[in-house]
Amino acid sequence: MEKVVVVLADTDEKYLMPLELKFIEEFKDNADMNVITDRDYFNTYFSVPREIDILIINENLYTEDIKRHNIASLFILTESNDVSNEGEPFSNLIYKYTSVKEIFRRVINASTKDVLSTMGNKEKTQVIMVYSPCGGVGKSTVSLGICAALAGFHKRVLYVNTETIQSYNYMLGNKEYCPGEFEKLLASKKENIVDCLKGAVGFEKFDYILPFKYSASSLNINTKEFKHLVEAVKQAEMYDYIVLDSSSDFTLEKTMMMSFSDKVVIITAQDRVSCLKLEYFLNNIDCSDKNKFIFICNKYLPDRENWLIKGNLVGRCLVSEYIDEFGSDPDSVNVEYLSTNKQFQKLAYTFI
């Protein structure tokens, strides 16, 4: 397989160093790296026709003549912090002082499949567990919103609801229930359960395990059975993301599931009672790993008192996103609506 030709061009050598290291780390020996920091060499390099897979170039070096070359993916670094990526996450204009990780993600997500196939390590399936210590805060809505937004970024997503009573399909067009045959296989923790998914998976922008018609507990399906399913699907690498919608009870099995998950999204509300429950939760589990635990405030109303920024919670959890209250019409909230919501898109983009 031919190497990917990557060119980084900026007169600031110190700036390019960590970006170069990121590409080397991800592509390993599969990339032909060219780092240009001298303007005279830049002019010499582009004085002859070039075939480049990825070109990241400072706006001060960029001219229209660059387009004469065969460049598969072109990205321009700008020092203007007015760049807005809302609605255009893969725009070729990148704020120069964005984190190296985010620049790399944007570049890779906007590049061709041929470029992706040469990366040294294929990214494994990530499990995103969504949990809330308090009920009624819209945990399932947030879970489905994350799924819909990730699917909008062309990711393969599987939604798994682990609640005892599964009623989330009111937001879906498909009202089918999970086949009883699959429920029995799941309850028995069948070894090759991924081979039995056909018929148990629905699709609506993303895949999801069809809801159970009867309570999960009455079917002898609990956290251990769901964990068995998620582990099997993750190992099979059928999806980029598995979003695990978890019930609000706090058990030993639930903490084990959190340990197993790559990311844990904690949903809360801004009212006093929700914040008290969140405080009790934090007293029982270590959420100091900010890369793993992400706190979200749902149903946010700016004119209401926000207990998340006062009292004992200050400094204990940093809220990554405040998702506004949708409004009084619940019928308007569906998967299509969630997939176009800017706040869910922004939240989903943090996982990419």
Read out DSSP for 247-266? -S---HHHHHHHHHSSEEEE
Tokens of residue 227, six digits: 């964990």
**What distance separates the 2 farthest-apart alpha carbons in the chain?**
73
pTM of the model: 0.68
Please report, as a single letter, which amino acid is at residue 184: K
Query: Which of the residues in the chain have pLDDT under 50?
Result: 85-90
- 31, 104 in Cβ contact below 8 A? no
Parallel/antiparallel/unpaired status of strands 157-161 and 293-300: unpaired
Alpha carbon dihedral 189, 194, 200, 202, in 10-degree steps, equals: 140
Q: What pLDDT is attached to residue 86?
A: 45
Indicate the CATH number for domain 126-349: 3.40.50.300
Please report, as a single letter, which amino acid is at residue 191: E
Q: What pLDDT is attached to residue 120?
A: 52
Tokens of residue 100, six digits: 């190296």
Angle formed at CA 73 by CA 60 and CA 28, multiple of 5 degrees: 100
Indicate the CATH number for domain 4-117: 3.40.50.10850
Q: What pLDDT is attached to residue 206?
A: 94
Q: What pLDDT is attached to residue 159?
A: 97
- Domain chopping of the chain, boundaries: 4-117, 126-349
Q: How many beta carbons lie within 10 A of that of residue 114, not counting itself?
A: 12
Residues 228-271 pLDDT 10s? 999 999 999 889 999 999 999 999 999 999 999 999 999 999 99
**In CATH terms, are 4-117 and 126-349 the same topology?**
yes
Q: What pLDDT is attached to residue 83?
A: 54
Q: What pLDDT is attached to residue 229?
A: 96
User: CB under 8 Å to 338, separation ≥6 — which residues?
Assistant: 141, 144, 145, 148, 149, 171, 344
- Interatomic CA distance for residues 152 and 205, integer angstroms: 8
